Amino acid sequence: MFIVLEGIDGTGKSTQCQLLADWFREQGREVVTSREPTDGPWGSKLRQSAATGRLSPEDELDYFLKDRSQHVEELIKPSLEAGKVVILDRYYFSTMAYQGSRGFDPTEIRQKNEAFAPIPDHLFILDLDVDTAHSRIGGRGDSANEFEKRDSLQKCRDIFLSLTGEPFVHLIDSHGTLEDVQKAIRAVLA
């Protein structure tokens, strides 16, 4: 099973990925968790740019595609072929949102990715209004980085919300407690 958690920054994706992985492990399933951008060479450059200043839109999109291609070939496909549950914190839907907020066509980004990247069985969009997301980002001791500016986050949220309506996409309100959000995710998977 291939599961992806998406949403703007501050929605709790990383925590929910870990809770979900623990739940599957309790059921005796082999689980692989990962995130994008990865810690590989392209992903590392992208992570650095979040703190030092974003790359040009063209370079940023190119790096995301290269990072994802390596991720798919080295981790995602082999893990799925081995029958493992794969849970990702961000995937190409984030590229659609964040690079879409910079002027790229999200539909074109999706097409480029789906030419090589498998579509998840379940995409959970953790939804949160931008003001609450910003307060959570500040509450975790961080300041908003280059990807977390208010206007950009609103555009990203709008792009994420445009994905709802597809059968594998599940919108989860992440205003509640960690336990409430996890319960909602598990209810879909059960």
Residue 12 is encoded by which pair of tokens?
A: 């709790």
8 is in an annotated binding site: yes
177 is in an annotated binding site: no
159 is in an annotated binding site: no
77 is in an annotated binding site: no
Residue count of the chain, please give it: 190
Token pair 């597809």 is found at 166
Judged on CB neighbours under 10 Å (0-12, 13-18, 19+), 190 is exposed
160: left (phi over 0), alpha (psi -120 to 50) or beta: alpha
| Rounded CA separation 138/31 (Å) | 31
132 is in an annotated binding site: no
7 is in an annotated binding site: yes
14 is in an annotated binding site: yes
10 is in an annotated binding site: yes
Binding residue positions for ATP = 7-14
Binding residue positions = 7-14
